[in-house]
A = this chain, B = another copy of it.
């Protein structure tokens, strides 16, 4: 069973966590309860948050009653931003696979899939945390 859109487990966790934090504003949330809510290991989720924190999406507070909170308004945090912090910058070139050398001079997918890739990109860019 496979998915057509490429969103890793880690990126999924990041998106779900950020949505939960947005919904819970202005109170912050810690990895313990987030991990419980999302039913994943604390350590894995903690790693995800190190990236989110280092990239300025969340502000971390250590110690008792600590945790994470959004570091800017919810509507200013797009799904794309979260996605790219975890997965790396999205590659939008002539080939949906980002291939530079191919036996075929023109990409075997024509430009159908590129059109769709651009569509996904725009969609992720439009979606933000304001709706939670």
Spell out A's residues near B (CB within 8 Å): 1-7, 12, 15-16, 19-20, 37-39, 79, 84, 87-91, 96-99, 101-104, 108-110, 112-113, 116-117, 119-121, 123, 127, 132
6 closest Cβ pairs, A-B complex: A6-B6, A2-B87, A4-B120, A2-B88, A1-B91, A4-B117
CA distance A12 to B97 in the complex (A): 8
CA distance A102 to B19 in the complex (A): 12
Contact A5 B6 (CB under 8 A): yes
CA distance A127 to B112 in the complex (A): 10
- Max chain B Cβ within 10 angstroms of own Cβ: one of A4, A19, A39: A4
Contact A2 B116 (CB under 8 A): no
Contact A108 B5 (CB under 8 A): no
Given contacts A12-B97, A37-B103, A96-B7, contact A113 B108 (CB under 8 A): no
Which residues on the B side are within 8 Å of A101 (C-beta)? Answer: 39
Chain B: minimal CB distance from A77 (Å): 13
Contact B103 A1 (CB under 8 A): no
CA distance A87 to B1 in the complex (A): 7
Residue of B nearest to A83 (CB): B2
CA distance A62 to B91 in the complex (A): 40
